[in-house]
Amino acid sequence: MLRYAMGRIGQMVPIALCVTVLIFLLIKLVPGDPASAILGDHATEASVRALRHQWGLDRPIWQQYALYMRNLATGNLGQSLRYQTPVSSMLPRRIGVTFFLIIYSLVLSVLIAVPMALVAALCRNRWPDYAIRAFLALPLASPPFWIGILLLIVFSLKLRLLPAEGYGDGFGDHLQHLFLPALTLSYAFASVLSRNLRSSLIDVLTTTYVDFARAKGLRGRAVLFGHVLRAAMLPIVTLVGVRLSYAIGGSVVIETVFAVPGLGSWMVDSILSRDYAVVQTLTLMFALGTMLINLTTDLIYPLFDPRVRVG
Amino acid sequence: MRMIRVMAAAAAVIGLVFGVTSVSPIGAAGFKSVINFGVNRAADDLDPITQDANPNLWAFMQIYQQLIRVNAAGDGFVPDLATSWKVSADGKTWTFTLRPDAVFSNGDPVTAADVVWTLQRAHDFNGPWQWALEAMQAITAVDAHTVAITLKEPFAPFLSDVSLFSNSIGSAKAFKSASHEEISNHPIGSGPYMLVDWKKGEQLTMRANPHYYGRGLPKTPELRLIYIPDDNTRVIALQSGRVDGIDYPPFSLLAALRGDPRIDVLLNPSTAVQHIEINVTQSPLNNVKLRQALSYATDRAAIVKAVCYGNCTPATSFLPITTPFFHKQLKAYTYDASKAQQLLKESGVPTPMSLKVMIRSGDADQQTTATLLKAEWAKIGINMDIEPIDRAAQTQRLHSLGYQMNIGGWTNDVPDPSELASYEFDYVTAKSYWTGYQSNAIIALLKQGEREIDTAKRRQIYYRMQEMAIADAPLIWLYYAPYTDALNKNVKGFVQLTTGPWIFTNVTVAQ
Amino acid sequence: MSAQAQAAPQPGGLVAARRARLALPIGIVVGGIMLLVLTGATLLAPVLLPADPNAQDLNAMLQRPSLAHPFGTDNYGRDVLTRVLYGAGIDLRIGVLAIIFPFVFGSVTGAFAGYAGGWADALIMRAVDVVTAIPFTVLVIAIVAFLGPGETNVLIAIGAVDWIIFARLVRGEVLREKNLEYVAALRAFGFSRWRIILRHILPNAIAPAVTFLASDIVLVILTAAALGYLGLGVRPPAPEWGLMIAEGRTFLYTAWWVATVPGFACMFAGIAFILVGDGLADLLRVRGQ
């Protein structure tokens, strides 16, 4: 197990490199450049050229990549061309915001999904099951920004209960400002989570586990929580792993609607303004983070199902 | 037992979430001490000479001062750092007398040396505003509070150009060896506000400059510019009281906002003009009759109705209404479908044909304009392909003349027609606003207009220029839009110049 | 198969025997009907509503629902009902086309990776890792920014990124399945690796993928909508639902019908797909055992 983990960690390095090359090429090949974007409508050809030269954007592409990697090796995450600030100075706050938002929405999703899935699985094919599945399907099929704006209108405008945007200062403030965006984000995930959990619960409820456990003499709730949930967690674990990076992508539009200053909106802004260093650094971070999550997911498998061997 | 603990925890969390929202700090005698203003684009660079995005300019205009400023009406100048100015008899040397009590936010007094250093920097830097000081040949400090600027030749728009925000005066001592990054992130100006905190892409916080010479100004000690890109969210933030004012409320919501008794809607006269740039170097758009046909086939009144909900004015000239020498009697394009058909036939271009029009992705007004035009032009046999494209790619296509038509807009930054005229018709500056249009006659008029000091004669030059431009139609001018702002009724003293910048110095927000 | 293999305890036991009634779950019936309605609307729209979905009438801007316009008009005076029905065709097309490649390619690749193990598994999963590393929406945005907006490019971008979810889901199931007794039995009988994967393991392992299929179609439609929101998706003035919502969001509380109706259409289509997907998953689960 440990050897497998070390092996996987070792594999992360070449993959991270592949990711940086991939995104570097992709973003450089996209037409348009930061100088024209920043200089805007009043730009002249001469000023665009001068700025590109100042930023080293007229050097051959492999040289730019080498420079970026060399900076990275010394811990220099690059400079945001748009904001004229080191990426590392903007990063901590942005990470904190998105992290808060994602954890908040995961917590809300679980709080919504688990009880619903349990009820649906236990009452499967009877009316509570259909009612729950219909209720959960609704937000799944709706555009997140649509739900977000509806929530905004109800809670922020009509009821004046919650702020409409931003992040706030202090933990309590964060909880308030991010409640609506987290709720919007959590809907879709709660839906998927609940459906898969219900599906797995049904699978397991109809297998020999339950009969075996009952035969062992365990009763009622112990059977349910002890064995059924654990065995049903396998696809859930996969899904969480996949959805975590998904959640960041899903947060992109939500962050724009609610003006949440997190990584997702920063990433999109940077792609659209061709802020190369930011795009590369953020992608690299996502890559490493996602790989760690995947590794953790794979290592956790056997804990839930001893029949699974990894490696 | 466990249930009780769980419920207690849940109650605590819910209490936190729905708890009392933060109360605004109370300032002097029943007024708030903070102005919260929601903006639709984030400031990203506060160095006056390097870029041209409005959010940046309008932000650092609270921090910096210039020698002179455009007045609120947009037709003259008021003293800013200079209390008086005069020009020599030959029109080539301007002398400015500085006020003795202006002080930077770091405590250093503003002296002629600062003016000399700043303007020399602005003159030398190869950026979007270099043209503003191009006429300057030399600048010297006559004494500690007098500056003399010598021009290459008499230059009519000089006062306008020197009032431009790119000519903001900074501290030579602080910035002399500072990098551009330093200057952008730590601006040191002599204006009513100074920067105290900047969360990039989120919020910009300014506080009163303790050394500002204006007694009791700024009236509100703190100003926050909060970035809220989504139109709906920004309007909701205003209506829910989270911000005291916002910029660019969408036209479609103005009627609803006017109906809200707590909100004031402002339509401020602007120097804005929306237009379609046409690449005249490629067939079939190099055919002038085709361009004229398109201009006649454009129903500007319909655009005003569907895009601005009646809050704009159809465009006649390439100059905005508020610019000096705007030709009121210009015989401009009207909506005339039959005339369009006739011109189309005369042009010899076969129909039906397709034309591609670029619009900036995410820009609702441009998208609405394009959709309307598509239906209008279909009536004369032109099929329009709408091409949404993001800003950076759009700029590249424009600069390389790799497009057919592009919807864009302009805001004049000085109360003088020369800025727009040269950008739009002087090929060397910007390929005639990226159309590739070259008219030696107009270029000659441009040069004349800059040198002619006599106002009446200048007027005739620019009238002639407008007539010629309309005839050749290298662009299709659509409408003039006012600046829109929406403020809470308890906000008083808000001013927006016709060139765009907000002035928060006299703003108070009642409790 | 020998009697011994047949007598081996099937997963499911007594409960499975009870469930072997194989009646169609009601979900799939309702979902199927909804899908039929949707497809019918798409095909019949040009016949039922010959009006041009792009016909503008600036004297009838933002009108409330009425007899003449059952769902009101938008800010160009265009009839919302007509646009929604025509939009069904666009969104259904995008939704279905976009997931074919990811579903097929992803499931087969994932099954192969799970079954084969070793370096093949490592290689495939590391490739999945590279693509997963970049958030889905962000990568799609980057690819569309690269290719340019438009329906085809949206399909390509989604196809290039979406397959990994299916790969991971199916691989997870196969990892579990391959250690079950019947697989060992099949191997003992000398069936080829690919036959075992495709004909025996995949049908059992496909259930989560099929369950996810429905969500995925909806995800694709919503991604297309998000791209439309950012101005990078289907080009205006096409009556694509996401684009309609994006265009109508400004009027959400003055003329709510403009953005709400396409939102509900999205929901309708989404629920239809989800119900059908769930029903299929139930069917597969029963039959596989």
Q: Is B238 on the interface with C (CB under 8 A)?
A: no
Q: Is A262 on the interface with B (CB under 8 A)?
A: no
**The pLDDT of residue A77:** 85
Model confidence at B58, pLDDT cuts 50, 70, 90, reads confident
Indicate the SS3 state at residue B61: coil
Average pLDDT of the segment spanning C250-270: 81
Average pLDDT of the segment spanning C156-179: 87
CB pair distance less than 8 Å for B375 and C56: yes
The CA distances from residue A297 to A290, C97, C135, in Å, are 10, 31, 17
**The pLDDT of residue B22:** 42
Residue B450 near residue B157, CB atoms below 8 Å: yes
Reading the block at residue C116, the tokens are: 């084969």
Q: Does a cis peptide bond (omega within 30 degrees of 0) precede residue B218?
A: yes
Reading the block at residue B85, the tokens are: 């100015």
Q: pLDDT by residue (tens digit) across A11-36? A: 778 878 888 887 787 777 777 777 77
Q: Is the dihedral of CA B55, B58, B62, B66 positive or negative?
A: positive
**The pLDDT of residue C40:** 84
Model confidence at A291, pLDDT cuts 50, 70, 90, reads confident
Residue B270 near residue B482, CB atoms below 8 Å: yes
Phi then psi for residue A221, to 5 deg, are -65, -40
**The pLDDT of residue A208:** 58
CB pair distance less than 8 Å for A153 and B203: no
**The pLDDT of residue B478:** 96
Reply yes or no on whether the pLDDT at B25 is more than 60: no
Average pLDDT of the segment spanning C121-137: 79
* Share of residues in chain B with pLDDT > 70 (%): 95
Distance CA A64, CA A70 (A): 10
Reply yes or no on whether the pLDDT at B23 is more than 60: no
CB pair distance less than 8 Å for B364 and C250: yes
Q: Which of C231, C228, C232, C233 is nearest to C245 (CA)?
A: C228
Indicate the SS3 state at residue C209: helix
Q: Which of B497, B489, B495, B500 is nearest to B219 (CA)?
A: B495
Indicate the SS3 state at residue B217: coil
Cα dihedral B208/B213/B219/B224 (nearest 10): -30
Contacts of B361 in chain C (CB under 8 A): 149, 230-232
CB-based contacts of C187, cutoff 8 Å, min separation 6: C196
**The pLDDT of residue B385:** 92
**The pLDDT of residue B47:** 92
Helical ranges in B309-363 per DSSP H: 337-347
> A107: how many CB neighbours lie within 10 A of its CB?
13
Indicate the SS3 state at residue B358: strand
Distance CA A280, CA B90 (A): 57
Distance CA C88, CA C256 (A): 20
Chain A: residue whose CA lies nearest to C119: A311
Q: pLDDT by residue (tens digit) across A166-196? A: 777 777 888 888 888 888 888 777 877 787 7
**The pLDDT of residue B208:** 95
- Lowest-confidence region among A216-220, A273-277, B7-11: B7-11
Average pLDDT of the segment spanning B444-468: 92
Q: pLDDT by residue (tens digit) across B103-148? A: 999 999 999 999 999 999 999 988 888 888 989 999 999 999 999 9
Distance (Å) from the alpha carbon of C242 to chain B's nearest alpha carbon: 13
Q: Is B72 on the interface with C (CB under 8 A)?
A: no
Encode B378-398: b = buried (16+ Cβ within 10 Å), e = exposed: eebebebebbbbbbbbbbbbb
Model confidence at A239, pLDDT cuts 50, 70, 90, reads low
Reading the block at residue C125, the tokens are: 């999963």
Reply yes or no on whether the pLDDT at C168 is more than 90: no
Distance CA B131, CA A15 (A): 49
Question: Which chains pack against B, by 3+ Cβ pairs within 8 A?
Answer: A, C
CB pair distance less than 8 Å for A238 and C168: yes
In SS3 terms, chain A reads as CHHHHHHHHHHHHHHHHHHHHHHHHHHHHCCCCHHHHHHHHHCCHHHHHHHHHHCCCCCCHHHHHHHHHHHHHCCCCCEECCCCEEHHHHHHHHHHHHHHHHHHHHHHHHHHHHHHHHHHHHCCCCHHHHHHHHHHHHHHCCCHHHHHHHHHHHHHHHCCCCCCCCCCCCHHHHHHHHHHHHHHHHHHHHHHHHHHHHHHHHHHHCCHHHHHHHHHCCCHHHHHHHHHHHHHHHHHHHHHHHHHHHHHHHHHHHHHHCCCCCHHHHHHHHHHCCCHHHHHHHHHHHHHHHHHHHHHHHHHHHHHCCCCCCC
Contacts of C75 in chain B (CB under 8 A): 252, 306, 368
- Lowest-confidence region among A265-279, B21-35, B396-410: B21-35
Q: Which segments of B65-123 are extended strands (E)? A: 68-70, 77-79, 82-87, 93-98
Chain A: residue whose CA lies nearest to B128: A43
Reply yes or no on whether the pLDDT at A8 is more than 90: no
The C-alpha R_g of chain A, in whole angstroms, comes to 24
β-pair partners for B141: B147
Distance CA A195, CA A192 (A): 5
Distance (Å) from the alpha carbon of B231 to chain A's nearest alpha carbon: 9
Rounded to 10 deg, the angle between the C207-229 and C151-177 helix axes is 150
Predicted ipTM > 0.90: no
Reply yes or no on whether the pLDDT at C175 is more than 90: no
The CA distances from residue A202 to A205, C40, C204, in Å, are 5, 34, 15
Contacts of C273 in chain A (CB under 8 A): 141
**The pLDDT of residue C219:** 78
Model confidence at B66, pLDDT cuts 50, 70, 90, reads very high
Q: Is the dihedral of CA B312, B317, B320, B325 positive or negative?
A: negative
**The pLDDT of residue A134:** 75
The closest CB to that of C132, out of A196, A294, A309, belongs to: A294
Model confidence at B480, pLDDT cuts 50, 70, 90, reads very high
Q: Beta strand pairing status for B222-227 and B34-39?
A: parallel
Reading the block at residue B362, the tokens are: 């995410």
Reply yes or no on whether the pLDDT at C22 is more than 50: no
- Lowest-confidence region among B84-88, B337-341, C145-149, C162-166: C145-149
Report how far Cα B175 is from the mean position of its chain's Cα atoms.
Answer: 26
CB pair distance less than 8 Å for B228 and A33: no
Encode C88-107: b = buried (16+ Cβ within 10 Å), e = exposed: bbbbbebbeebbebbbebbb
Indicate the SS3 state at residue B133: helix
Chain A: residue whose CA lies nearest to C11: A207
Contacts of B230 in chain A (CB under 8 A): 256-259
**The pLDDT of residue C24:** 67
Distance CA B469, CA B446 (A): 12
**The pLDDT of residue A230:** 67
**The pLDDT of residue B138:** 94
- Lowest-confidence region among A127-141, B398-412, C63-77: A127-141
Question: Which chains pack against A, by 3+ Cβ pairs within 8 A?
Answer: B, C
Sort C21 into a burial class: Cβ within 10 Å, 0-12 / 13-18 / 19+: exposed
Q: Which of B279, C204, C140 is nearest to A249 (CA)?
A: C140
Indicate the SS3 state at residue B32: strand
Residue C154 near residue C147, CB atoms below 8 Å: no
Q: Which of C116, C56, C104, C120 is nearest to C83 (CA)?
A: C56
CB pair distance less than 8 Å for B199 and A32: no
If you search the block for the tokens 């205003």, which residue do you land on? B238
Chain B: residue whose CA lies nearest to C231: B361
**The pLDDT of residue C92:** 83
Distance (Å) from the alpha carbon of B386 to chain C's nearest alpha carbon: 7
Reading the block at residue B228, the tokens are: 């809220």
Distance (Å) from the alpha carbon of B101 to chain A's nearest alpha carbon: 33
Average pLDDT of the segment spanning B285-291: 93
pTM as predicted: 0.80
Comparison of pLDDT for A256 and B155, the residue scoring more:
B155
If you search the block for the tokens 């490696």, which residue do you land on? A311
Q: pLDDT by residue (tens digit) across B291-338? A: 999 999 999 999 999 999 999 999 999 999 888 899 999 988 999 999
Residue C167 near residue C111, CB atoms below 8 Å: no
Reply yes or no on whether the pLDDT at C7 is more than 60: no
Q: pLDDT by residue (tens digit) across B363-391? A: 889 989 999 999 999 999 999 999 888 77
Reply yes or no on whether the pLDDT at B459 is more than 90: yes
CB pair distance less than 8 Å for C168 and A11: no
Distance (Å) from the alpha carbon of B146 to chain A's nearest alpha carbon: 32
CB pair distance less than 8 Å for A164 and B236: yes
- Lowest-confidence region among A262-266, B176-180, B342-346, C166-170: A262-266
Model confidence at A310, pLDDT cuts 50, 70, 90, reads low
Sheet containing B382-389: which strands, arranged edge to edge?
B313-314, B475-480, B272-278, B405-411, B353-360, B382-389
Q: pLDDT by residue (tens digit) across C82-103? A: 898 888 888 888 888 899 999 9
Chain A: residue whose CA lies nearest to C133: A287
Distance CA C138, CA C119 (A): 30
Report how far Cα B94 is from the mean position of its chain's Cα atoms.
Answer: 27
Angle at A183 between CA A182 and CA A185, to 5 degrees: 65
Model confidence at C18, pLDDT cuts 50, 70, 90, reads very low
Residue A37 near residue A43, CB atoms below 8 Å: no
Average pLDDT of the segment spanning C134-161: 82
